[in-house]
Amino acid sequence: MRHTFEDSLDSLQQDILRMGSLVENMLSKAVESLKKQDTGLAKEVLIMEENTDSLEKEIEQKCLRLIATQQPLAKDLRKIAAGFKIITDLERMADYSEDIAKVTLRLAGQPLIKPLIDIPRMSELAQKMVKDALDAYVREDVELAYRMCKDDDVVDHIYAQIFRELLTYMMEDPKTISQATSLLFVGRYIERIADHATNIGERVIYLVTGEKKELND
Amino acid sequence: MKGTDKVLVSRLNLYYGNTQALFDVRLSLKRNSITALIGPSGCGKSTFLRVLNRMNDLIEGVRTEGEVFIDDKNIYQPGVDVVTLRKNVGMVFQRPNPFPMSVYENIAYGPRIHGIKAKGRLDEIVEKSLKRAALWEEVNDRLHHSALGLSGGQQQRLCIARLLAVEPEILLMDEPTSALDPISTLRIEELVQELKKDYTIIIVTHNMQQAARISDFTAFFLNGEVIECDATEQVFTNPRDRRTEDYITGRFG
């Protein structure tokens, strides 16, 4: 029964996964572009951001239409409610990735004050979190959502390290302050992306259990 | 019995001849609340509704076992006056059934039977009941015209006014808006929500959205059993039982 509705829910899920994939890709490319100081790659990310923007609007419309036409209840309702929130988190992640790409463009022409090691490390972990969050959503896997949220602590830890290290650079040589603060922002953007991934984890838990849990502190 | 319970149903079993229709039903209905009874056709919700004012007694071959307490008194105890019970626990049906009399006479009928004869008093009751049922404005200039000339929605509100005239405490409604257009439906829903301030209301409905809109509690019946009864918000966003979830999401009819 309700085949049309079931198909629509599946289609919604596919759309969200597609948006998630795009976002993972954006983060990966953005940090890559920074590490290699590749402005071409950075510009690609800016274009990708336009895609995620329109995807978010499209998916939001689909959710509204489902609510208006199908009167979803119980889990169906929670699934659509989760969908609304997840696309917002994904769109924020896309914005942050774009911000990272903009830093690449801003630093173009200057040599990096140090080779980037921790930032890529942090980014890989954040990307894994995004992927896990979306896997948890598709598989309705509450355990995975909880495990993924623990990675957030590691991300925060790396960020603190980056902060301390860049601080010492800035104290030693004021000429590095401009670039160092940009790199600090990048760290912050990745840290925020990881937070949004844990938000998605919280939505998955709500979707499956109907309970609201706070998972990032 | 707790202070907030108006009705307490305990270990209720009901049989139509040899066929059991209600199985071990336990429910408590809170004072001044609206409880919706939902479930597929034939699940026992209307039968259960009729238990509350002993209307099933009028059906041959029905056997009711268990206890139904209204304000601490078991209405199935021997010696209970069912006429008084049915005054106290009034019922509205799916198809409005105004008497073939004037609007005024429809409302005055009940109070008259219960001994009120003074015209002034009856006038008062008629006006008060029609106002309570949000119908006064529409009919006060045609009180002595036939009730059959009213629209469906108005007739249903007339039936409600008729009930209210004998001052019940509990209102039972069996799909009160199924035969009405959407606007009349919404007006009656608004009325019901107003009425809960003064009455305890139980409503059987096939319309899930209606149950979700107006009720405080929802009980899901299936095959003569109560599967789940909880705050409406809970039942419709996160039901505890799989069967409730399947029913309300339309995964089975």
3-state SS string for chain B: CCCCEEEEEEEEEEEECCEEEEEEEEEEEECCCEEEEECCCCCCHHHHHHHCCCHHHHCCCEEEEEEEEECCEECCCCCCCHHHHHHHEEEECCCCCCCCCEHHHHHHHHHHHCCCCCHHHHHHHHHHHHHHCCCHHHHCCCCCCEHHHCCHHHHHHHHHHHHHHCCCCEEEEECCCCCCCHHHHHHHHHHHHHHCCCCEEEEECCCHHHHHHHCCEEEEEECCEEEEEEEHHHHHHCCCCHHHHHHHCCCCC
Lowest-pLDDT choice from A199-213, B16-30, B193-207, B222-236: A199-213
Query: CA–CA distance from B13 to each of B19, B49, B86 (Å)?
Result: 11, 13, 21
In angstroms, what is the C-alpha Rg of chain B? 18
pLDDT in tens, B53-90: 999 999 999 999 999 999 999 999 999 999 999 999 99
**Chain A residues within 8 A of B212 when measuring between CB atoms:** 73
Candidates A1, A73, A77, A212: best to mutate against B (most CBs of B within 10 A) is: A73
**Chain A residues within 8 A of B236 when measuring between CB atoms:** 73-74, 77
- Please, what is the average pLDDT of chain B? 94
pLDDT (average), residues B206-212: 93
pLDDT in tens, A61-97: 999 999 999 999 999 999 999 999 999 999 999 999 9
**Chain A residues within 8 A of B248 when measuring between CB atoms:** 73-74
Residue B1: pLDDT band with limits 50, 70, 90:
very low
B214: tokens are 């107006």
Round to whole Å and give the CA distance between A116 and A172. 18
Q: Do A73 and B249 touch (CB under 8 A)?
A: yes
The answer to whether the beta carbons of residues A30 and A45 sit under 8 Å apart is yes
Chain B interface, Cβ < 8 Å to A:
208-209, 212, 236-239, 244-245, 248-253
In total, the C-beta contacts within 8 angstroms joining chain A to chain B are 35
How confident is the model at residue A72, as a pLDDT? 94
pLDDT in tens, A113-136: 999 999 999 999 999 999 999 999
Which 8-state DSSP code applies to residue A111?
P
How confident is the model at residue A211, as a pLDDT? 84
**Chain B residues within 8 A of A5 when measuring between CB atoms:** 250
Round to whole Å and give the CA distance between A199 and A205. 10
**Chain B residues within 8 A of A74 when measuring between CB atoms:** 236-239, 244-245, 248-249
Candidates B249, B251, B252: best to mutate against A (most CBs of A within 10 A) is: B249
Q: Do B248 and A71 touch (CB under 8 A)?
A: no
- Distance between B236 CA and the closest CA of chain A, angstroms: 5
Whether B114 shows a pLDDT value over 90: the answer reads no
How confident is the model at residue B2, as a pLDDT? 52
The answer to whether the beta carbons of residues A142 and A209 sit under 8 Å apart is yes
Nearest CA among B214, B207, B209, B218 for reference residue B240: B218
Residue A21: pLDDT band with limits 50, 70, 90:
very high
Residue B251: pLDDT band with limits 50, 70, 90:
confident
Residue with tokens 């390290």: A161
pLDDT in tens, B150-182: 999 999 999 999 999 999 999 999 999 999 999
The answer to whether the beta carbons of residues A25 and A17 sit under 8 Å apart is no
Domains of chain A: 2-209 (1.20.58.220)
Residue A212: pLDDT band with limits 50, 70, 90:
confident
Q: Do A74 and B252 touch (CB under 8 A)?
A: no
